Structure 1
Amino acid sequence: YFNFYPFLGFLFKTHKIMLGKIEDVRVILRQYMKASREDINENSVRSYIDALIFKQQEEKNKKDSLFHDDNLIASLLDLVMAGTETIATTLQWAILLMMKYPEIQKKVQEEIGRTVQAGSWATYEDRKNMPFTNAVLHEVQRFITLLPHVPRCTAVDTHFRGYFLPKGIIVIPSLTSVLLDKTQWETPHQFNPNHFLDAEGNFVKREAFLPFSTGRRNCIGESLAKMELFVFFVGLLQTFTFQPQPGVSEADLDLTVPQTTFTLRPQPQATCAVLHE
């Protein structure tokens, strides 16, 4: 937008700030790469950066190698942005929803108390014995539709439902159409963990649960994200009970999104974290 229509720059102030922050991250990543090169040990791969640099060195005489600095930075940026920001934002939503629905938060904490030994932290394997907590986390992801519009590009000429999509065209699927589909969910616009529970309280998978997209280009970090969300969420509720600040009721908490960005983030709201006994 900025190069073609500079006079419209005032419309994209937030986006320009975000791009500036991304460049700040690139600078930090370049510093890490420089430090890694200076004391790298071929007998010990300490990090993802080390692994990329080793591969770069292996292919340094290869004319068409893709392991040049720009691609290394892009790979690291993907890892940081996709693997950190999305998890953090989902946990922000989870905490806000626990504040909004304290009865659900209480049931999660009771299930944690029954399942996780006192003085220990939950493991990902514990989710099998924690159907309600598992259902709550799935419902958080369904309800918030964190990344509803991830663009794709057609690899070949494609015909789809009567439409011709030429090779190289950008296609933006809408995950909202699935995650909030009234034909798939009993109460699509309400936060309802029962969407993932049967009549006996057992966890059930739902075919329409697609927060990580679908197909061969679905989120590559899905397995890691599921583990992180479960362990972090349970750890937080083992330690704290989340409440609105004094003078603010659950009904006052705002679940709307302040403005559309790549990820849908909650409104900034004061949070009280009370130690859970």
Structure 2
Amino acid sequence: MMDGFSAAALLTCFCVTYIIMCFVKIFKEKSKLPPGPTPLPFIGNLLQIDTNNIVKSLNKLQDKYGPVFTLYFGPNPGVVLCGYKAIKEALIDQADEFGDRGDYPVFTRYFNNHDLGLSNGEHWKTLRRFALTTLRNFGMGKRSIEERLQEETSFLIDELNKTKGSPADLTMFFASTVANVIASIVYGSRFDYKDDRLKKITDSIYNNFCIMSSMWGTLYNMYPGLLDSLPGPHHQMRRNFEDITVISRESIKYHKKTLDPNCPRDYIDCFLIRIQQEEGKDNPDPAFYEESLVMSIHNLLFGGTETVSTTLRYGTLVLMKYPEIADRMREEIDQVVGRDRSPCMEDRNKMPYTDATIHEIMRFCDVIPLSLPRCTSRDTLYKGYKLPKGTYITPFLTSVHRDPTHFEDPFNFNPEHFLDASGNFKKEDALMPFAAGKRICLGENLARMELFIFFTSLLQNFTFKPLIAKEEITLEPTGSGLGSVPMEYKCRIIPR
């Protein structure tokens, strides 16, 4: 029998051999990819990444390696793209090659390629076309959805008035309002603000967004198999997803009982009708089935709620720190809109300073600092590098929004970034809060309408007063992974 010393020697030899093989594999991979920090077996470049603030880490690496570099998020290599030029060349100029979605475990471990946002191939193309058509049919980008926004704004104003100037946290007010807009399209009706279903939806989305934007979310994306076996708040993500799934399945059940194929009421009806139509074909489209509907609802609710509500919350914090900017916006709102009617999208062209400030909020707050990952759909030549099919791509959107070649003072909040010398609104291509290319957020037009209507209506009706001195307000995010999360705060909401 083998004695203890021999066994230990054999084990040591095995481990050393394994480590050497790992390094050989790593250097073979790296030789074909852009430069970057040297990774270690299994942990990759974990030592070069601040898991609580990945943006800070990527900024340092960009300074050292330039606009394109290789980074190992865990054991697997990926390519990080920085700056407007590099990201435009990939996501827009080579849109087909960079059009696939990379694996993103905080979502994909639950959605399992059934959804419309994280899947690839014909499944994604079919569901995206269907979603765009359906959302447009229910008013996205049209006057009808604008009226829906104005109506929801009136409910929000009523709720904020109930605070009577007492300190209030805006988080759930904004989340409920924004969630109700997309819920009215998906489920067919809005929820009362006291409805437990709305609270479950907004709580689940907000809590998952916070976890995904924390160290736990970053680590889970790097080592999902390992984290599944370890305790931590990341396990709450699945429970939060499940809460929304239960609500959606109940709604689908009701829709099936009351469905009129000749008169679809909402997104669920349209999807169920399409399922029925496909079932009657000799070669049905495999993208339409109930689980695909359930997971696509998740995409629409999450994408249609958290980005806009966080931008509203972050933007309000910015305007409390810079009240002179908020006052100038109010002057323009009073001049163009007045106090006796709701703002509408036609007002925007007459309100360049307000429009510029809202765009600057999107740029400066940078709510989604890293676009959801892409991967190359085929072997791709990019900036002299041959990227194999399936190469993981991280578009670093913060680097676009802080690109000094496009923004004169990128690290400070300044609406002048979107105004020309005559004070007219100036469009800037280096603003990508909704990403770019074939995977650009399908709700972009709706989100832009929401931000304009909600911000102008809030400033038309209220003044927001911080509980601390404006000098004490910090605009640094408290978490930065999937999203940039602003500091927690309360404020007094004073009617005008």
TM-score class, shorter: over 0.9
Which of 246, 252, 260 in structure 2 is aligned with 1:33?
A: 252
Q: 1: distance between equivalents of 2:279 and 2:271? A: 12
Q: Residue 18 of structure 1 corresponds to which residue in structure 2?
A: 237
- Name the one with the larger helix percent: 2
1:126 aligns with 2:327: no
Shift of 1:65: 2.2
Q: 2: distance between equivalents of 1:140 and 1:3? A: 33
Q: Residue 366 of structure 2 corresponds to which residue in structure 1?
A: 145
Shift of 1:147: 1.3
1:167 aligns with 2:386: no
**Residue by residue, what CA displacement relative to the aligned partner does 1:119-156 show, whole Å, maximum 9, x if unpaired?**
10000111100000000000000001111212112111
Shift of 1:36: 0.6
Shift of 1:40: 0.9
1:200 aligns with 2:422: yes
1:213 aligns with 2:435: yes
Shift of 1:7: 7.9
Give 5+ residue unaligned stretches, structure 1: none
Q: 2: distance between equivalents of 1:191 and 1:22? A: 35
- For residue 5 of structure 1, give the secondary structure of its aligned residue in structure 2: helix
Q: 2: distance between equivalents of 1:152 and 1:81? A: 19
Instruction: Name the amino acid aligned to 1:21.
Output: N
Q: Residue 112 of structure 1 corresponds to which residue in structure 2?
A: 333
Q: Residue 271 of structure 2 corresponds to which residue in structure 1?
A: 52
TM-score normalised per structure 1: 0.93
Shift of 1:19: 3.3
Instruction: Give the paired residue count.
Output: 272
**Residue by residue, what CA displacement relative to the aligned partner does 1:227-268 show, whole Å, maximum 9, x if unpaired?**
1110011111111111102xx100111212112242212111
Shift of 1:214: 1.8
Q: CA RMSD in A?
A: 1.7
1:213–1:57 Cα change, 3 Å:
same
- For residue 272 of structure 1, give the secondary structure of its aligned residue in structure 2: strand
Q: 2: distance between equivalents of 1:238 and 1:15? A: 40
- For residue 439 of structure 2, give the secondary structure of its aligned residue in structure 1: coil
Give 5+ residue unaligned stretches, structure 2: 1-219
1:193–1:35 Cα change, 3 Å:
same
1:83 aligns with 2:337: no
Tell me, yes or no, if the aligned pair for 2:397 and 2:435 is still in contact at 8 Å.
Answer: yes
Shift of 1:14: 3.8
**Residue by residue, what CA displacement relative to the aligned partner does 1:152-173 show, whole Å, maximum 9, x if unpaired?**
1211111111222211222111
1:250 aligns with 2:465: no
Identity of aligned residues (%): 40
Q: Residue 38 of structure 2 corresponds to which residue in structure 1?
A: none
Instruction: Name the amino acid aligned to 1:231.
Output: I
Q: 2: distance between equivalents of 1:105 and 1:28? A: 39
Segment of structure 1 superposing worse, 162-171 or 132-141 = 162-171
Q: 1:262-273 counterparts in 2 under 5 A?
A: 262-273=482-493
1:267–1:14 Cα change, 3 Å:
farther
1:235 aligns with 2:428: no
Instruction: Name the amino acid aligned to 1:175.
Output: L
TM-score normalised per structure 2: 0.53
Q: 2: distance between equivalents of 1:230 and 1:83? A: 15
Instruction: Name the amino acid aligned to 1:80.
Output: L
Q: 2: distance between equivalents of 1:7 and 1:140? A: 37
